[in-house]
Structure 1
Amino acid sequence: MGPYAFSRNETPVFLAPMSGVTDAPFRKQVMKFGAETTITEMVAGDDLRNGNQDSENRIVVGHYPGIHTVQLVGREAEALRYGAERARHAGADIIDINMGCPSRRVTGGLSGSALMRDPAHAQTLIEAVIDGAQGLPVTLKMRLGWDRDEMTAVELALRAQDVGVELIAVHGRTRQDFYDGEADWAAIRPVVDAVDLPVIANGDIVCLESAKEALKLSGAAGVMVGRAATGRPWFIAQLQASLNGREYNTPGLGLQIESLAEQARDSVELYGQRVGMKVVRKHIVEALEGWRNDFDVSLSAEMRKSVLTSQSPDDLVSTLNGFMAEGQVAA
């Protein structure tokens, strides 16, 4: 199975699924810049079974090269089996199961990381997804456990391996940690030692140095990057190249603006004008921060407001290009 990096004996870098971030328009840009695989935002099996349009939008694979993974979340086996079937028909190459989300909305429904409190039931859900996947590879994302007194990652990983999961990603925090403190990469190592599957380390991986440290402490086969990739779709490919001793030319400001504009156009096409521009705004915010650090681009508060309130992709591009042409942005 993918990612292709394993067949080349490379250390892979994955883009973590993030609600409101890793939608189809952003994943397209991540792959265009050289990443080999991306994962959708998590999709509830129940919502797919009920025909929810937002959930249908989330499993849009896109017509561009790469390995496409759809991530499912849920508590009920039949809904997840249906979700796996729907993802397969939508063109997924891999199906991932979310047993790591810490949000109260998800765990309140006894899904996400709440399932780490019931590994036996979690196993039945994994089996249902594998059944619905009909031969597609199935992977699993989880945390260390519910809290420091319930560190069930090893038990769940062993159960997942026994029923046919092919790769496991572990966030180095418990559910009760949410995103507080620092990820405990060393606590992932018992999972690595317990299973014969590739284990991927996740949490606080924001640069080459943190990726190397996570690999060293966890013994993992690869890393997964979350928030650090927002507004930086090339970062996944760049980090994988750096980890494996290859050069990667960071795209210049002009290419970054083109990428952001294409993402905005795709977002508008997928969601409609108003929602599409709203969805892409978080990427614009992070892109502006990156330009400040990487290109010494400094926008005044008024310029920043003009960019963030752009009403259309064309408006966004013309505003940015206008600033550049007038020398208000350092190219």
Structure 2
Amino acid sequence: MQIGPYLIDPPVVLAPMAGVTDKPFRLLCKRLGAGLAVSEMTTADPRLWNTRKSLRRMDHEGEPEPVSVQIAGYDPGMLADAARYNADNGAQIVDINMGCPAKKVCNVWAGSALLQDEPLVARIVKAVVDAVDVPVTLKIRTGWDRDNKNALTIARIAEDAGIAALAVHGRTRADKYEGDAEYDTIAAVKQAVGIPVFANGDVLTPQKAKHVLAVTGADAVMVGRGAQGRPWIFREIAHYLATGELLPEPTPAEVCAILTGHLQDLYAFYGEPQGVRIARKHLGWYAKDRPENAAFRHVVNRAESPQEQLQLTADYFASLQDPLILAA
């Protein structure tokens, strides 16, 4: 699929996730097959652009193109300024967040709360599209709640304003991450507009990715929680879409090598103390559904240094290769 001048190939995209899709994780997912990786949301409030958190979120040095940066806010002028600022600092695609269901985001009338005010949506998308020369994309949900689904209206507003592509999470804000994704709504959106559409929600396996593309007619799938602890899902999906064949599951040794590299990138990016803390949630995701997961997390979460965290991780995955070690 195409977004402005950029070919998104394979059509498998890492969804923006606050606290997850930082630079180390985006780089890892791109190396493992993601055709595009969208940054975690950056605030449109200029008073916060020079905080340590915002500066890290706006760091795109060495990131392969296209660099897609998500912005969040409620004021059209402020979002336009944020789009210009990010485009001047390396963003090649600007994505507007109208999909986040988090209470602290919706309480300031940002994220999916914006879906309640269609005229404001129209002003925001026009202001941002007019502000920059790079393509602008939009991420939405199907509506505010099940009695107020307006994804089709929002999609048409977005297309009319010049939005280059639209990502639809197949749930309302009220649903958060509960229940099944509404692929029929995504299909209706795809039929209603001529711009590329990403289908997002419950894409956890290659087979599910193929099914979602078939039933929605979407141009690409967007993977969020399915990539947590399984960043190789992108190459698995890409291979399955291209060949109809499943790649073998990575061995514990392969997973350990990927995870170890990820940990080292986190330490380098955040500094050792913060990197160790941030790594803990990733360690839990990588170990999820594996033997002795709870015991591993209990031990590894007490590690205070990179050396200790890396050694415990190596020991755990070595035990998975040799069940006798695990039994001992």
TM over 0.5: yes
Match runs of 1:264-303 below 5 Å: 264-289=263-288, 292=290, 298-299=291-292, 302-303=295-296
Deviations 1:84-131 (A, max 9, x none): 122212212211111111111111111111111112211211122223
Match runs of 1:211-226 below 5 Å: 211-226=209-224
Residue in structure 2 matched with residue 263 of structure 1 by the alignment: 262
Residue in structure 1 matched with residue 178 of structure 2 by the alignment: 180
Residue in structure 2 matched with residue 318 of structure 1 by the alignment: 311
State the shift of 1:213 in Å. Answer: 2.7
Residue in structure 2 matched with residue 171 of structure 1 by the alignment: 169
Distance in 2 between residues matched to 1:104 and 1:163, nearest whole Å:
28
Q: 1:329 to 1:109 in 2, by over 3 A?
A: same
Question: What SS class does the counterpart of residue 177 from structure 1 fall into?
Answer: coil
State the shift of 1:64 in Å. Answer: 3.9
Q: Is the 8 A contact 1:48 1:56 kept in 2?
A: no
Q: Is the 8 A contact 1:261 1:316 kept in 2?
A: no
Distance in 1 between residues matched to 2:65 and 2:248, nearest whole Å:
20
State the shift of 1:191 in Å. Answer: 0.9
Distance in 2 between residues matched to 1:162 and 1:81, nearest whole Å:
17
Deviations 1:139-174 (A, max 9, x none): 110011112222211111111111111110111111
Residue in structure 1 matched with residue 88 of structure 2 by the alignment: 89
Q: Structure 2 unaligned runs (5+)? A: none
- TM-score, normalisation: structure 1: 0.88
Q: Percent identity?
A: 36
Distance in 2 between residues matched to 1:34 and 1:73, nearest whole Å:
27
Residue in structure 1 matched with residue 301 of structure 2 by the alignment: 308
State the shift of 1:322 in Å. Answer: 3.6
Q: Cα RMSD between the aligned structures?
A: 2.6
- TM-score, normalisation: structure 2: 0.89
Question: What SS class does the counterpart of residue 310 from structure 1 fall into?
Answer: coil
Q: Is the 8 A contact 2:252 2:317 kept in 1?
A: no
In structure 2, what residue type is equivalent to 1:119? E
In structure 1, what residue type is equivalent to 2:287? L
In structure 1, what residue type is equivalent to 2:179? G
Question: What SS class does the counterpart of residue 41 from structure 2 fall into?
Answer: strand
Question: What SS class does the counterpart of residue 166 from structure 2 fall into?
Answer: strand
Question: What SS class does the counterpart of residue 39 from structure 2 fall into?
Answer: strand
Distance in 2 between residues matched to 1:227 and 1:209, nearest whole Å:
16
State the shift of 1:324 in Å. Answer: 5.5
Residue in structure 2 matched with residue 196 of structure 1 by the alignment: 194
State the shift of 1:241 in Å. Answer: 2.0
Distance in 2 between residues matched to 1:160 and 1:321, nearest whole Å:
48
State the shift of 1:13 in Å. Answer: 1.2
Residue in structure 2 matched with residue 70 of structure 1 by the alignment: 69
Distance in 1 between residues matched to 2:86 and 2:54, nearest whole Å:
11
Distance in 2 between residues matched to 1:113 and 1:125, nearest whole Å:
13
Q: 1:323 to 1:190 in 2, by over 3 A?
A: closer
Distance in 1 between residues matched to 2:230 and 2:314, nearest whole Å:
19
Q: Is the 8 A contact 2:197 2:220 kept in 1?
A: yes
Residue in structure 1 matched with residue 30 of structure 2 by the alignment: 31
Q: 1:52 to 1:131 in 2, by over 3 A?
A: farther
Q: Is the 8 A contact 1:3 1:12 kept in 2?
A: no
Q: Give the paired residue count.
A: 322
Q: Is the 8 A contact 1:166 1:197 kept in 2?
A: yes
State the shift of 1:79 in Å. Answer: 1.8
Residue in structure 2 matched with residue 129 of structure 1 by the alignment: 128
Q: 1:3 to 1:161 in 2, by over 3 A?
A: closer
Q: 1:325 to 1:180 in 2, by over 3 A?
A: closer
Distance in 1 between residues matched to 2:312 and 2:44, nearest whole Å:
41
Q: 1:105 to 1:47 in 2, by over 3 A?
A: farther
Question: Is 2:154 the partner of 1:161?
Answer: no
Question: What SS class does the counterpart of residue 146 from structure 1 fall into?
Answer: strand
State the shift of 1:42 in Å. Answer: 1.1
Q: Is the 8 A contact 2:49 2:55 kept in 1?
A: no
Q: Structure 1 unaligned runs (5+)? A: 293-297
Residue in structure 2 matched with residue 227 of structure 1 by the alignment: 225
